[in-house]
């Protein structure tokens, strides 16, 4: 059973479009992290959200933590080819960090 679910699994869009990806769980998290992974590399931390309802912005990326701290979303405005990659959410509901299966994003020029 996946403790963290992510949707969609795959997303292919044209440059300039907007998109939202989701991370959901039935467990409560003290914090959630979002990472981006490019082919052949390790995941790189984008943001960590801690407070329920929190919204964080990183240039064209907007992250939101659900009020109940069970879910999170990532919205990208005007996607660029450089946004291509695997987006992973992660958290530690118990004593170790778990990762969602990821959303693979492809932005076509």
Partner 1 sequence: KAGVTQTPRYLIKTRGQQVTLSCSPISGHRSVSWYQQTPGQGLQFLFEYFSETQRNKGNFPGRFSGRQFSNSRSEMNVSTLELGDSALYLCASSIPLGTAKNIQYFGAGTRLSVL
Q: Which residues bind partner 1 (CB under 8 A)?
A: 30-31, 33, 35, 40-45, 48, 50, 88, 90-92, 95-102
Preceding amide of 8 cis, omega within 30: yes
DSSP string, 67-103: TTSSEEEEEESS--GGG-EEEEEEE-SSSS-EE---E
Nearer to partner 1 (CB atom), residue 20 or residue 101: 101
Residue 31 Cβ, how far from partner 1 at the closest point, in Å? 5
Pick between residue 44 and residue 78 the one whose CB is nearest to partner 1: 44
Minimal CA–CA distance to 99: which of 4, 23, 14, 1? 4
What minimum distance in Å lies between the beta carbon of 103 and partner 1?
11
The tokens describing 12, both together, are: 């292919």
Of 40 and 109, the one with the shorter C-beta distance to partner 1 is 40
């Amino acid at each position: 059973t996946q403790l963290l679910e992510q949707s969609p699994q795959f997303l292919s869009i044209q440059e300039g479009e907007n998109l939202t990806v989701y991370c959901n769980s039935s467990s409560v998290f003290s914090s959630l992290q979002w990472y981006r992974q490019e082919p052949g590399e390790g995941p790189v931390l984008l943001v960590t959200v801690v407070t329920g309802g929190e919204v964080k912005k990183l240039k064209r990326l907007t992250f939101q933590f659900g009020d109940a701290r069970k879910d999170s979303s990532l919205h990208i405005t005007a996607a660029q080819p450089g946004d291509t990659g695997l987006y992973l959410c992660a958290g530690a509901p118990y004593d170790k960090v778990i990762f969602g299966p990821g959303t693979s994003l492809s932005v076509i020029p």
